[in-house]
Copies of this chain bind each other. A is one copy, B any other.
């Protein structure tokens, strides 16, 4: 049995997220599985590292699949890119150890969120960033972000649909940078609940607008109340940027 690891980039704009949902075809997973299944002439399931939400992008999603076929890495990459839609690209294929598992072996993941923080819209990035037209106080946002670091119960920052056994996740780092009109927020952690990064960013935006106090984060975390957090930030600003194994 061969185990192939794929590195994938996608514009999530027109998809219902990563995860295949029943018979629904409009997910990234379904699009890739269909092409692989056609290639090896057998129904194949792929295991993705992160189940990105509807509309969320990926610069470096990892997924693996197993097959008895002996195909070269270059053959697979070229076949997939030929038949996948243009908004999904396989940037690398690698034959890996039989026990490699994209989800279980992922040690940490980095999500990047792009905010376009100018009064006017950005014609070329309007689908790839969230537009906030009021100037954000980045110092307050940086201060607030430090409270996320460490292990916390992130119930308040999850969606009611999250039904995980444990709501505790560890955040290793939150980095906030300004870059010619954009504010880029990078969140690195061992795992994320459904909607968690978008809730964290939405809360940081309200801190930057002065609507939530920068020192209120610890209280919000311990409250475990979803109504205390900021709005859900737009999915089009979020990218799965990097996965480490």
Contact = CB atoms under 8 A, between A and B. Distances in A.
Interface of A: 9-11, 57, 77-78, 81, 86-91, 119-124, 126, 128, 131
A29 B10 CA distance: 33
Contacts of A123: 9-11, 57, 86-89
A120 B10 contact: no
A207 to B, nearest CB: 26
9 contacts: A9-B123, A10-B123, A11-B126, A78-B119, A81-B120, A89-B121, A90-B120, A91-B120, A124-B128
Nearest to A91: B120
A14 to B, nearest CB: 11
Contacts of A89: 120-123
A11 B11 CA distance: 17
A74 to B, nearest CB: 10
Could you say how many copies of this chain the assembly holds? 2
Nearest to A123: B11
Given A119-B78, A119-B81, A120-B81, A126 B90 contact: no
B87 A126 contact: yes
Report, nearest first, the 3 A-B pairs whose CB atoms are least far apart: A11-B123, A81-B120, A86-B121
Contact of A121 (B78, B81, B126, B131): B81
Contacts of A120: 77, 81, 89-91
Contacts of A121: 81, 86-87, 89
A126 B78 CA distance: 18
A241 to B, nearest CB: 13
